[in-house]
Structure 1
Amino acid sequence: MKKKIAALLLFSLALFVISVTRHLQRHNQELSLEGYLETFHISKKNSETNECAAIQKEISFYSIGCKKIKTSEIISNNPNAKYSGIFKLKGILHVLTSDGNIYIKNDEDFHFLKKLDLLNLDTTYFGGLLNSIFLPEKNLLVTYSLNSISQNKYLLLTVFDAKNFKKVNQIKLTNTKTLPSQLGGGMAFDKENLYLSIGVASQDFVDNQSQEGLNPNSLYGKIVSIPLNQIEKKIKDINIFSSGHKHLQGLLKTKNAFIGVEHSVEDGDEINLLNYQKNYGYNDFGYTKHHMANKNTYYFNKNRVLYQDPIFYFTPEAALSDIEKCVFDEFENNYAYNPCIIVSSLAQQSIFIIKFKRERNAEIIPKNPIVINTEKIQIGERVRKVKNLNEKNGLFVLTDSLNIFFLTFVTK
C-alpha cells in the first residue's frame, strides 16, 4: 500500500514538473514574441525616421513632423532631372521635372502622366523646363524653358490647358548663342498679370552678357509682366516691371507686397522687395565680394545710391532657389512668426523662416517689410522648391535628390 502511495506521489510530482516546465516555456515564448514585436516596432519606427533623418526636428516654437513621399518612378525615369513645379489639380498632386515630364500622385507614389510638348527642349544641366506655375482660375499651366536648335538656344514661354495638357500658346522670349546659365525663372501672378524673371544668362561677372540687366532694351536681367487676358491668345505686351537682376528663381506676390529671392556672385544672395520700374543694380551694385582670376578681392557696392537695397542679404552663400508664404496661418494668435515668408537654399541645404516686423497687429506681409529675425531649418539636401498648397500647417519641400518631403509644424 505504501509503495502505491509513493508511486502516486512521484507520478503527481512528475506531472507538476512537466506542467511548470511547459508554462515557463510558453511564458518565455510570449516574452520572446513580445520582444520581437517591440524590436520590429522600433525598427519600423527607425526606418520611418531615417527617411527624414537629416531634417531638423524642431524650431523655437514648433516641433517639425516629416513624411517622405515616394518618388521611385521619377528617379528611375531620369535621376539627373530637377523639379520644376508642384501643384494640385482636382485635389491630386502633380509635379513637373526639368525633362518636361508630368507625374501625378497615385496611392503612395508618383506615376508618369505625360511628357509636355516642348519642342527642342535643351537637356544640358542648366537647361530644360526651368519653372512652371498653375493658374487655377484659368485652369492653365504656364512653363518657362530653355530650348535649342543646333547651337542656337532660346527661352520659351508655353501655355497648356490643364484639362489635357495640350499646348494652347507659345512665345519665344530671347535668343542666345552662348551656353546660358543664370536664367532666372521665378513666376507669380495677380488678378491682372503673369510675372516672370529672366536672368542675365551668364555666370561671368565681367563679360558683356552680365551687364544686360542694366540694358533697358534687353529682356535679360529683368522681371517682365504679361497681361493674363493675352496669355491664351497672341501675346502683344511684354512689359519690363523691374531691372538689374542676376538670377531670380523665386517670386511671391501677396496682397501688399511683391518679393523675390536672387543669387549674387558668391555671397550676398538677396531677398528683394520688388517695385515697378526700379533698378536693383546687377552687375554694378551688390552686398557681396567677387574674387577675380588674379585673386584680388573686388567689392562692387560702389553705386549703392543709384539702386534699390535688398531687404535682407545672406552671408555666406545661400543660392536661394524659391520663396513661399508661411504655413503658420492656421495657428491662432501666432505672434511668434507671422507675418513671415519661407525661402529655400541650394547651397546651405536648408529652408529659412524670414520674420517681418508686424504692422498694426496685422498678420499679412506689410507693404514695406522689415526683417527682424531669421530661423534656419536644416534639410540636408539641396532644396529646389518649397510649396504651400494650403495643407493644414504643412509645407512641401522638393530637393535636387528628387525627394519630396512634407513637413508639418505642431506647437510645442
Structure 2
Amino acid sequence: MNINFKKRIIKITLISILVLIVILVLTNPNKITRKFPLKTQISVENTYFEYYNKMNDSIRIILRTAGLDPFNDIHKRYKRKAPRIENLNNDYNVKFLPNTQYGKMKFIKKNINFDVNLEKYAAGEKEFSLYGLFQPFYLESYDNKILIIHGKGRIIYSNLSEVVSEDTKDIKFTIISSNLLDLARSGHVNGTLIHNNKIYVSYHIRKEECEYFRIVVADINIKNLEFKDFYSSNECGPKYSAGRMQFFNHESQDGLLVSIGMGAYNKPSTFPQDKKTIISKIIFINLDTKKHIVYSLGHRNPQGLLVDGNNIISTEHGPHGGDEINKIIFQGNYGWPIASYGTAYDDIDKNEISSKGYLKSHSDSGFIEPVYAFVPSIGISQIIKIPNSFSNLWQNNYLLSSLNDQSLYRIKFNKNIDGILSMERIYVGSRIRDLKYFKKANVFILALEDQVELGILKLEIE
C-alpha cells in the first residue's frame, strides 16, 4: 500500500466522521425522537444506540464531547464534564479489564433480550427504561441456570453453560411466566434473593403521591412463578430505593435482612433517624411471623448487602460524595443525614436541610464511622465475597461494583472488617448493578445495565 493511498484513506475517514457529526448535530436523536410516537421513538433510539456501540473509542469521544452520544441526559444528571483529551494518557496504574494487578482475566460481554412488550407495558413512558437508556436488572443462580430479573419485573433464564461459553454469541433466553410484571408495574424491582428453593423479590409501588415497599415470594421453578405477599409496609415514602436481601439468623430466629433507602435527590429528612419507620434502615424480618425490627438506622441509600459469617457489610450511596462501606452492628446508627463525608449537591435549594452541610466526623456525634468513604463518590452498588477457590492471589478478598464509576474494586479488609488493607480499582466501562459468583463455572457474572449486557469474568492467567 503506497503512501498516497494511505493518505486518501485517512482523508476519506476524516471526512466521513465530519459528515456523521454534522448529520447528528442536525438530527440529534436525543431531541428529535421525543416528537415521535413511543414505539417509533424507542426503535430509533435503540438503532442509534446499536450503531454507537459499534463505534471505536475515538469517535465516541468526539460524539460525547459534542453532546451527541446516547447518554447525554445522563451526563447532565451526573454533571459529567466533556472528556478532556489530555486525560487519555493519564491512567497511571489503573487496570482495565481483562488485566488486573493479580492476574489476567478473560472478560466477555453478551447481549440480553428481555422481549419487551412495548404496547402493553409502556403506559406513556419509556417502558423497561428506568434511567434513560439504562435498564437495571438483577442476577440469581438456580439449578445450573442464570435467572435475570428486570427492574420492571420480566424474568428470563438461560443455561449457565451457554452463557459462559466463548463459542456462543447469541444466548437463548426463555421467559419465565410470572405475575411480577403486574405487581411491579407502577414501580420497580429493588432486589432479589433465592433461599431454600424460594425466590424473594423486593419492589416498590406508587399510588398517587406515595410509594410503598413490598416483598413477595414464590416457590422457585422455571415454568411459572406465582408470587405471593411476604411483607408489606403501609408507610408512605417519597422515593424508595435499595431493597437488597440476605438470609440471616438473628438471636436464633431465621429471617431476612433487608436494606431500605430513600433516594430523594436533594431532600434528606428526619426518617433515617426515626426508629418508628423502616425508611433508610436495615431491617430484620422474621421468616415465620413476618414481623420486622429495625436492625440499624441512619442510612441514606444502602445499595449493597452481604452476610459473611457473623459479619454484615453494606454499601451505601452518599450525597455529592461520601459513598460508604459499612460494617453493620445491631442497633448501630450510621449518622445520615446528620453526618456524611459527602456534601450537598450543587443545585440544592437553599431552604433544604442539606444546604446547612453535614458533620464529617461520625464518631464525635455518637455515630458509627464507615469502614471506608469514597470521596468523590463512585455510584456504589453490590459487594460479594470472592471464594478462595477462584484464585490463589485473591485470597480473602471481596469484590465491589459501581455504577457511575463503571469499575470493580477488589478489596482486602483487615481481620475485624473495620478497615481496608488494600483496594484495587479495575475499570470495566459499564454501569454494574449486580454481580454473582457461579461456582460450577468458576466465573463472576456482572449485570451491565447501560447496554443491557452480561459481563462474564473468569481467570485466565495467575
Question: Would you say 1:103 and 2:156 are equivalent positions?
Answer: yes
Question: Would you say 1:194 and 2:256 are equivalent positions?
Answer: yes
Deviation at 1:59, TM superposition (A): 0.8
> Tell me, what secondary structure is at the counterpart of 1:109?
coil
> Tell me, what secondary structure is at the counterpart of 2:244?
strand
CA separation of 1:243/1:266 partners in 2, compared to 1, >3 Å: closer, same or farther? same
Match of 2:296 among 242, 247, 253: 242
Task: Report if aligned partners of 1:387, 1:397 keep a CA contact under 8 Å in 2.
Answer: yes
Task: Report if aligned partners of 1:121, 1:148 keep a CA contact under 8 Å in 2.
Answer: no
Match of 2:413 among 336, 341, 356: 356
Task: Report if aligned partners of 1:131, 1:186 keep a CA contact under 8 Å in 2.
Answer: yes
Deviation at 1:382, TM superposition (A): 1.0
What letter matches 1:405 in structure 2?
Answer: G
Question: Would you say 1:213 and 2:263 are equivalent positions?
Answer: no
Structure 1 equivalent of residue 184 of structure 2: 121
CA separation of 1:51/1:408 partners in 2, compared to 1, >3 Å: closer, same or farther? farther
Deviation at 1:296, TM superposition (A): 7.7
Question: In the aligned structure 2, how far is the partner of 1:93 from the partner of 1:189?
Answer: 20
Q: CA RMSD in A?
A: 2.8
Task: Report if aligned partners of 1:285, 1:304 keep a CA contact under 8 Å in 2.
Answer: no
Match of 2:190 among 120, 130, 146: 130
Q: Which moved more, 1:320-329 or 1:212-221?
A: 320-329
| TM value normalised by structure 1 | 0.74
What letter matches 1:202 in structure 2?
Answer: A
Larger Rg: 1
Deviation at 1:72, TM superposition (A): 3.1
Identity of aligned residues (%): 20
Structure 2 equivalent of residue 319 of structure 1: 379
Task: Report if aligned partners of 1:252, 1:324 keep a CA contact under 8 Å in 2.
Answer: yes
Question: In the aligned structure 1, how far is the partner of 2:111 from the partner of 2:410?
Answer: 26
Question: Would you say 1:339 and 2:388 are equivalent positions?
Answer: no
Structure 2 equivalent of residue 228 of structure 1: 287
> Tell me, what secondary structure is at the counterpart of 1:185?
coil
Question: In the aligned structure 2, how far is the partner of 1:247 from the partner of 1:172?
Answer: 19
Deviation at 1:238, TM superposition (A): 0.5
CA shift digits 1:274-329 (9 cap, x unpaired): 01011001001112222444698834325532100111111221111111111443
Structure 1 equivalent of residue 436 of structure 2: 387
Structure 1 equivalent of residue 103 of structure 2: 62
CA separation of 1:296/1:72 partners in 2, compared to 1, >3 Å: closer, same or farther? closer
CA separation of 1:296/1:228 partners in 2, compared to 1, >3 Å: closer, same or farther? closer
What letter matches 1:283 in structure 2?
Answer: P
CA separation of 1:201/1:146 partners in 2, compared to 1, >3 Å: closer, same or farther? same
Task: Report if aligned partners of 1:84, 1:97 keep a CA contact under 8 Å in 2.
Answer: yes
Q: Whose strand fraction is larger, Structure 1's or Structure 2's?
A: 1
> Tell me, what secondary structure is at the counterpart of 1:143?
strand
Question: In the aligned structure 1, how far is the partner of 2:275 from the partner of 2:183?
Answer: 29
Structure 1 equivalent of residue 454 of structure 2: 404
Question: Would you say 1:289 and 2:331 are equivalent positions?
Answer: no
What letter matches 1:153 in structure 2?
Answer: E
Match of 1:87 among 112, 115, 140: 140
Gaps of 5+ in 2: 1-53, 58-94, 119-126, 163-170
> Tell me, what secondary structure is at the counterpart of 1:213?
helix
Deviation at 1:339, TM superposition (A): 1.6
Number of corresponding residues: 337
